[in-house]
Structure 1
């Protein structure tokens, strides 16, 4: 496997990716691509954080393969294709779309990781006061 995940975690990683992509597909008809990506990535990030703690493994083992289906590969391809063919307007549109999707992935990870870190800090502070 590309990320060298232990064998016993491979199915769990696949489940996280499948859940995230299912959320994306369910939400996509109702919202834009960027928002659907963001919501799916928040779900992936939360589940990955929980699995990392339960199975005592680095969270990146769960993150990297689970985000693969949401990476904006098609938008990047269309960006390059349209720029090469001289359609800079359409190429710019797809470039912006790719940036938005990639940004939503990063933002979701940042928000979940930061929220958990703040919660952990507040819990430690609360325990030290007692």
Structure 2
């Protein structure tokens, strides 16, 4: 009987070892010690900022030039500010603040407006520049 307990005890230990996660020769899930690296877009931060600034300037001019009460020059001037909000593997989110001015004719009066600003967020990738959110819109006097 002593000879039968030995092999039986070994069999029970093998079964228990398999249940407890010890290697048993079957398929196992292993965890890798390698760290995941986040891929960043190949577009540079400076290039992304330039593209966002250009897109906002174009947007402002398009709105003002299509307004019926704008009579004279439309200008984007002063400090143009582009701030990176975040960078991911998909692209770069950039907040743009831009000053503008224009001349208008409204209700029989002529005038000009200076020192107005817009604020918008753009998402820039290697292939596109998309307006995500307008935080402060172009202000039309009338």
TM-score normalized with structure 2 length:
0.28
> Does 1 or 2 have the higher relative contact order (CA < 8 Å, sep 6+)?
1
So what's the TM-score if we normalise by structure 1?
A: 0.30
Structure (1 or 2) with the larger CA radius of gyration: 2
